[in-house]
Chains A and B, each alone.
Chain A
Amino acid sequence: MSPRRIAVVGASAAGLAAAEALRRFGWTGTLTLVGDEPHPPYDRPPLSKQLLQGAWQPDKLHLRAAEQLDALGLDLRLGTRATGLDTATRTLTLDGGERLACDGVIVATGVAARTLPAAAGLDGVHTLRTLDDALALKERLSGTGHRLVVVGNGVLGCEAAAVARELGHEVTLVGREALPMARTVGTEIGELLAAEHRERGVQLRTAAVDGFEADGDGPARHVSAVRLADGTRLPADTVLVAIGSEPAVGWLHGDPALDTTDGLRCDAYCAAAPGVYAAGDVARWQHPVHGRHLRVEHRMNATEQGMAAARNLLAELEETLPGDEALAPAAGRERRPFTPVPYFWSDQYGLKLQAYGVLSGADRSETTVLDPDARKAVALYGSDGQATGVLAIGVPPRQVRGLRALIATPVPWEEAREGLHNARA
């Protein structure tokens, strides 16, 4: 009999959390961790903050020290892509053609940066998702006096614009939304962010990007301007395209048992098929409390969901492999629905924005600006008469933690409003 094996695909935050949890919860069989990047697991949020700014060197981003990884006893395959999964036989295929028979698989392949077709082969146009992307952009912005156009005014674009400004570059932030991050946080918080970016000297534009202009030929073609749909030309020597991401599910398309529309669709236990679970940015699971499928691209969720997927996979295997030595006996191993209170933060200049719960899809929101000059505000988001999310900007993080309890589960709108008032008083 071949040795028992669990494979985790994607060697980043969610994949690492899953691998660690599998060991902690009792998996003693082979544990394969496959990641297509050459680097050991590293953290992404600092890429658009401390790394880009130059405050941290890349090794500070490693999620675990070498000896901590060694202690997990992994069959670690870095620089290796998974190219297919047959869920019926739980066979994983790697890019070298190797086929791995698995007892369980956890899919944690995250998302990939979306780009613009016109950017292909153009020097000076960047995306920001991986360490290599961030190092390339940082290198590009070394020295002073660059003209950077950031295409996309979501979280990533705003953070990168802030850092580039602090480094002294000329920065224009272009987005289809009228205000920074407005699609996520609404108009009023968007206005505060816009005011902060303007005051720091970032040019804000609302426009669709039509294409790029370039100097030179062939591989030396270098971006010289960004062209907007209305014909305006924004001169640029560097462009960051930050227009969102696509779930990395292409490698799963061959299997008809999987639904890969907008991420890998899972049930409330993070299961996509028998023995196949998903976690992190790639997973779209049924949140039992919110009663709908969510896909959450936040750092905190990657770890929590990695742990949940690991626990649930082992609980399932316990039923199919009773008494197998690959699965050390453990108390309390049972499948549990994954019901997190989502959390995310963003840092721009000295401002910290923190949010709990679900903001997306809100049909109402209410913002209280506590101090316009200090950009201090709290906001509540909800739908169908229920409050589902809360956000604070410029408020000390310790205070914000208290707001979590308000919307840990959806509550009637008025109740949450009152709670928010009392918390502020």
Chain B
Amino acid sequence: MNITLDADKCCAAGQCVLIAPEVFDQRDEDGIVVLLDAAPPADQHDAVREAAAICPAAVIKVDE
């Protein structure tokens, strides 16, 4: 799995961090998404797929 972000679309909703805190974080000052792990281990894949699906700004792209 490989994750890419279109971070300038991010509206800082923080849903990705709620769902997959080991893979996503938010910048302190403006809440913009930060990628902690672009190729997370298998046990994170479901959470990442869900975060990508739920992100309200279509920021997260997953290639498998």
Contacts and interface: CB of A to CB of B under 8 A. Distances in A.
A161 to B, nearest CB: 19
A303 B27 contact: no
Contact of B53 (A46, A300, A303, A397): A303
Contacts of A303: 53-56
A399 to B, nearest CB: 8
Interface in A348-367: 352, 354
A227 interface: no
Interface string B36-64: 00000000000001000111111001000
Given A60-B9, A343-B13, A345-B12, A398 B53 contact: no
A302 B55 CA distance: 11
B31 A398 contact: yes
Given A24-B53, A303-B53, A303-B56, A397 B26 contact: yes
A396 interface: yes
Given A24-B49, A300-B13, A343-B13, A397 B56 contact: no
A396 B31 contact: yes
A214 B48 CA distance: 54
A50 B14 CA distance: 20
A398 B18 CA distance: 11
Contact of B30 (A24, A300, A307, A396): A396
A21 B53 contact: yes
A396 B30 CA distance: 6
Q: Is the interface of A mostly helix, strand, loop or mixed?
A: helix
B26 A300 contact: no
A336 interface: no
Contacts of B5: none
B3 interface: no
A43 interface: yes
B53 A307 contact: yes
A43 to B, nearest CB: 6
A410 B25 CA distance: 27
Interface in A47-74: 60, 62-64, 68
Interface string A380-407: 0000000000000000111011001000
B11 interface: yes
A299 interface: yes
Contacts of A103: none
A42 B45 CA distance: 26
Contacts of B9: 46, 60
B28 A396 contact: yes
Given A43-B58, A63-B58, A397-B30, A345 B13 contact: yes
Nearest to B32: A397
A307 B58 contact: no
Contacts of B13: 300, 343, 345, 397
Contacts of A398: 12, 14, 26-28, 31
A64 to B, nearest CB: 7
Contacts of A64: 58
B54 A45 contact: no
A24 B55 CA distance: 16
Most buried by A among B26, B30, B56: B56
Contacts of A343: 13, 15
A13 B17 CA distance: 20
Given A43-B58, A299-B56, A397 B12 contact: yes
Interface in B3-23: 9, 11-15, 17-18
A17 interface: yes
A366 B55 CA distance: 30
Most buried by B among A13, A17, A45, A401: A401
A106 to B, nearest CB: 15
A401 B49 contact: no
A300 B53 CA distance: 11
Contact of A300 (B29, B56, B58): B56
A336 to B, nearest CB: 14
A21 B58 CA distance: 15
Given A64-B58, A303-B53, A345-B13, 7 more contacts: A300-B15, A343-B13, A345-B11, A345-B12, A397-B30, A398-B31, A401-B14
24 contacts: A17-B53, A24-B53, A43-B58, A60-B9, A62-B58, A68-B61, A299-B56, A300-B54, A302-B56, A303-B54, A303-B55, A304-B54, A307-B54, A343-B15, A345-B12, A347-B11, A354-B12, A396-B31, A397-B13, A397-B30, A398-B14, A398-B31, A400-B14, A404-B18
